[in-house]
Amino acid sequence: MFGNIYCKRILVSVRNKGTLIWTWIFPLMMATLFYFAFSGLQDAELLKTIPAGIVVSEEYESDTALRTTLQAVSDPEEGFLELHTYETREAAAEALTSGEIDGFFSLENGSPKLSVSKNDLNQTILKSFLDQYVQTRHAVISLLEKGDTDVSQILDLFQTETWTEELSLSKNVPSETVNYFFALLAMVCMYGGFQGLDSVSYLQANLSPLGARRTLSPAKRFPMVFFDLLAALTVHMACMLFLLAYLVLILRVDFGTGLVPVIVTCLFGSFLGMSFGSFVTAISRAKEGVKVAVIISVSLACSFGAGMMVSGINYKIAKTLPVLAWLNPAARISDALYCLYYYDGYGQYFLNLGILAAMTLAFSIVTAFFLRRQRYESI
């Protein structure tokens, strides 16, 4: 009986156009959309070289220290400056006004000066660079003037001593875009609800003629629903793996960890989605279209809360309405993937999986309560 129910249910699922569109095609379209919409965002997160200028005067030509330093920090491979040279101060000022450069250096009475037109991140970096240069230069000159300076003392000036230990919270590069893909995976997990809907409708005599026919057969009820749900889970996980493969192999989305824990998260999410769909179907005799609408609406609302449409909304909800955030299954799935990406430990990750398991159990118990009935008041 297992083979018959399991194999035919898989056939039913893969041939169902609604399932095909909502759980296979729609997520691929969303993933592709995210990829193209947010690829610029990823680039923006990387620190670019800062366009800066230098007024090449006689004084500058003779200041070997400054010249060498600027050449070093504008190295095309490792430098952070994109250095433009100007013959006059006016030419440099004109370039600054036009936005060609973010600031320019000039030497006035032996002292390097920085000119900027606004106060922004790049201007702050230029200022910090200049301050450090001036400070080190003065120190070197002071030591040399003393006459009996050891060379090692001068070299020490160029070594930055750090008295604090820098610990990274993340093992991966912070990324805004990856959160959208986490939320997308969470949404597809929630779409497992369609499979739960089908499984329960196909079993309940008061929900469909098919349910009535199956109820009249001598096949026992719980093995029948178990085999059915197992097949549904197989199809849904195949759909999840297909989406993951598309994200990883085609769109090159980096999940920052081995894929096994990501797949485990999807499995827990799929259990949750299916149990939610079963719950919605079992508790009400509303028409199938209404139940489909409920599953789609709740899935999208939860995905919105997990940050699929608006970046950072999940953090705002977690801050202002923490209970809602904890009860949002899509947010838990998304957060579990977030933990895998950013955290070294698995504590928070397992907490999320635990919450998902608890929700699944709660939905399943209520569903089982309704499914245990085999005789109906009316059909």
Partner 1 sequence: MIHVKNLVKRYGKLVALDHFSLDVQDGEIFGLLGPNGSGKTTAINCILSLLTYDKGEISLFGEPMSPTNYKSKKKIGVVPQNVAVFNELTVQENIDYFCGLYVPEKAARKPLVEEAIEFAGLADFRRFLPKKLSGGLLRRLNIACGIAHKPELIFLDEPTVAVDPQSRNSILEGIRALNASGATIIYTSHYMEEVEQLCSRIMIMDKGRAIATGTREELTALIHTGEKLTVETPALPPAILEQIRNLPNVLRADHGDGHLKADCKGDGHPIIDVLDLLRQNNVSFGQVYSEPPTLNDVFLEITGKQLRD
Does 93 bind partner 1 (CB under 8 A)? Our answer is no
- Least distance from partner 1 to the Cβ atom of residue 211, Å: 8
Does 205 bind partner 1 (CB under 8 A)? Our answer is yes
Beta bridge partners of 105: 54, 114
8-state DSSP, 102: S
| The one segment of 2-10, 233-241, 253-261, 342-350 that binds partner 1 by CB under 8 A | 2-10
b/e per residue 195-222 (b: at least 16 CB within 10 A): bbbbbbbbbbbebbeebeebbeeeeeee
Angle at 35 between CA 34 and CA 40, to 5 degrees: 100
Of 147, 218, 258, 347, the one binding partner 1 (CB under 8 A) is 218
- Determine phi and psi for 93, rounding to 5 degrees: -65, -35
Among residues 218 and 347, whose Cβ is nearest to partner 1? 218
Does 1 bind partner 1 (CB under 8 A)? Our answer is yes
| The one segment of 80-88, 176-184, 205-213, 341-349 that binds partner 1 by CB under 8 A | 205-213
Of 57, 69, 208, 234, the one binding partner 1 (CB under 8 A) is 208
What Cα–Cα distance (Å) separates residue 247 from each residue in 35, 153, 307, 338, 348? 9, 54, 18, 16, 24
Could you tell me which residues come within 8 angstroms of residue 248 by beta carbon, excluding any fewer than 6 positions away?
A: 255, 259
What Cα–Cα distance (Å) separates residue 143 from each residue in 112, 185, 262? 20, 61, 58
Total residues binding partner 1 (CB under 8 A): 30
Cα four-point dihedral sign 9, 15, 18, 23: positive
Among residues 227 and 349, whose Cβ is nearest to partner 1? 227
Q: Which residue in 264, 234, 182 sits closest to 12, CA to CA?
A: 234
Cβ 281 vs Cβ 291: under 8 Å: yes
Of 77, 148, 150, 377, the one binding partner 1 (CB under 8 A) is 377
Among residues 10 and 143, whose Cβ is nearest to partner 1? 10
The DSSP annotation for 197-251 comes to HHHHHTT-TTT-HHHHHHHHSSS-HHHHHHHHHHHHHHHHHHHHHHHHHIIIIIS
Of 130, 212, 259, 313, the one binding partner 1 (CB under 8 A) is 212
Among residues 10 and 116, whose Cβ is nearest to partner 1? 10
Does 281 bind partner 1 (CB under 8 A)? Our answer is no
371 membership: H or E segment, kind and range: helix 347-371
Does 289 bind partner 1 (CB under 8 A)? Our answer is no
Of 138, 171, 213, 287, the one binding partner 1 (CB under 8 A) is 213
Among residues 65 and 379, whose Cβ is nearest to partner 1? 379
Interface of this chain with partner 1, residues 15 to 74, rule: CB under 8 A: 15-16
Beta bridge partners of 86: 55
Among residues 109 and 374, whose Cβ is nearest to partner 1? 374
Among residues 43 and 377, whose Cβ is nearest to partner 1? 377
Could you tell me which residues come within 8 angstroms of residue 58 by beta carbon, excluding any fewer than 6 positions away?
A: none
- Least distance from partner 1 to the Cβ atom of residue 222, Å: 12
Residue holding tokens 């805004």?
A: 176
Q: Which residue in 162, 368, 339 sits closest to 261, CA to CA?
A: 339
Does 219 bind partner 1 (CB under 8 A)? Our answer is yes
Does 215 bind partner 1 (CB under 8 A)? Our answer is yes
If DSSP codes are grouped into helix, strand and coil, which group holds residue 183? Answer: helix
Of 119, 162, 320, 374, the one binding partner 1 (CB under 8 A) is 374
> What x/- string results for residues 5 through 24 when contact with partner 1 is judged by CB under 8 A?
x--x--xxx-xx--------
> What x/- string results for residues 220 through 239 when contact with partner 1 is judged by CB under 8 A?
x---x---------------
Token pair of 222, please? 């719980």
Among residues 290 and 379, whose Cβ is nearest to partner 1? 379
Among residues 4 and 135, whose Cβ is nearest to partner 1? 4
Among residues 4 and 153, whose Cβ is nearest to partner 1? 4
Point out which residues bind partner 1 (CB under 8 A): 1, 3-5, 8, 11-13, 15-16, 205, 208-210, 212-220, 224, 374-379
